Amino acid sequence: MAEINFTYLPGDGIGPEVGAASIAVLKATASKFGHSLNIEEHLIGGAAIDAGLKPLPDESFESAKRTGAMLLGAVGGPKWDHLKGQDRPELGSLLPLRKNLNLYANIRPCKPYPALIDRAPLKRERLEGVDFIVMRELTGGIYFGDKGRDDQGAFDMCRYSEAEVRRIANKAFDLAMTRRKKVTSVDKSNVLETSRLWRETVIAVAADYPEVELEHLLIDAMTMHMLTRAQDFDVILTENMFGDILTDEASVLCGSMGVIPSASLSDGGMGMYEPIHGSAPDIAGQGKANPLAMILSAAWMLRLSFGLDAEADIIETAVSAALEQGQTTGDLGGNLSTSQVGEWIADYVQR
């Protein structure tokens, strides 16, 4: 019997709804395998602000640090757009969590489900066989550099150290060794000095992995190649801002942003797991939100933070079955509510 102890951060908008569905699935999984489940639920983002707290309350951070595993719904929304800087839900919670817990490696998969291929805007032949993972550096670059305004404009500094590039590159090559042994490193080395350092360091790391093929692409070219030869990629390695852009582009290949989980990892077992979609306040509270990406994020948590591969596999199998059988929310052509999708997958897990 395993002890599954984690911090649950429902967040804002549809976060609590998709989160509740994922918790139902986790409870079913723990029951099936005889594990204990200890959930520490805390506020974050706009929900914390509305409760009179800062975006990342101390108790939320301490819980995350203690458990080492976080399941996050969504953060932010137009309601708090009037706030500035660190008072905003996203800047005041997600970035400090990533930085202070050293969650420097963000991974997002792109492997279209057969049931969703025809929902993607590209032709079927461009999508069949696509299976890659984007490894995005998450705690450096322009998002974390000095920023500000003066009387003539505004500035955002982009800076990377060799050590920051080396550690994310090592993670990408380690991952490639478990897959098809290819890394595509994406930069803008024809213009940016940080990208020249990035490329030099990645080449140096590659020398330690002679079995892995290394390809370099410029970010502008990569946005084209991802749509025209997506089958060629295995592990895509890139810096923070480029990774943010590419992972949203990759979601189009999967037919829906609502089926893509993500993991933000440090060294060891520390990890934060969340769907790539936002808080979607326009449908919050209506039971319309698709919970599959959140449920898959929970599966990744079981696998990567707790080493529970069989448990993660059964959840992923259940999600595939739900898609094949049309047991989905309206955005994917089904007629179930958010909670009903969670219940269906929970029931499937316990069969």
29 & 76 share domain: yes
Tell me if 110 is assigned to some domain: no
248 and 126 co-located in one domain: yes
Q: Which of 206, 224, 253 is the last residue of a domain?
A: 253
Do the bridges between strand 261-265 and strand 271-275 make them parallel or antiparallel, or are there none, so unpaired? antiparallel
- Among 324, 327, 326, which Cα is nearest to 347's? 327
Residues 91 and 129 in one domain: no
The answer to whether position 260 is within a domain reads no
In the set 131, 232, 248, 331, the catalytic residue is: 248
- What digits encode the pLDDT tens for the residues 77-90? 999 999 988 999 99
DSSP three-state, residue 312: helix
282 is catalytic: no
User: Is position 188 annotated as part of the catalytic site?
Assistant: yes
In a shared domain, residues 125 and 248:
yes
* Catalytic residue of the set 131, 232, 244, 331: 244
Residue 108 lies in a domain: no
Q: Please pick, among 87, 118, 220, 313, the residue that the annotation labels catalytic.
A: 220
Show the tokens assigned to 316.
């992923």
pLDDT tens sequence across 101-112 = 999 999 999 999
Q: Is 80 exceeded by the pLDDT of residue 302?
A: yes
| Domain co-membership, 182 together with 73 | no
Both tokens of 126, joined, read: 């461009």
| Average pLDDT of the segment spanning 280-288 | 96
Q: Note if 151 is an active site residue.
A: no
Considering the domain architecture, whether residues 279 and 249 belong to the same structural domain is answered as no
Which one of 222, 253, 284 terminates a domain? Answer: 253
91 and 161 co-located in one domain = no
Q: How far apart are the two ends of the chain, measured CA to CA in Å?
A: 19
- pTM score > 0.85 for this model? yes
Domain interval for residue 160 = 121-253
HSE-CB at 180 with a 13 A cutoff on CA atoms is: 14
Examine the domain organization and report whether 47 and 88 are in the same domain. yes
Residue whose token pair is 């829906």? 256
Per the structure, the count of domains in the chain is 2
Residue tagged active-site, from 8, 104, 113, 143: 143
Place of tokens 């089904």: 334
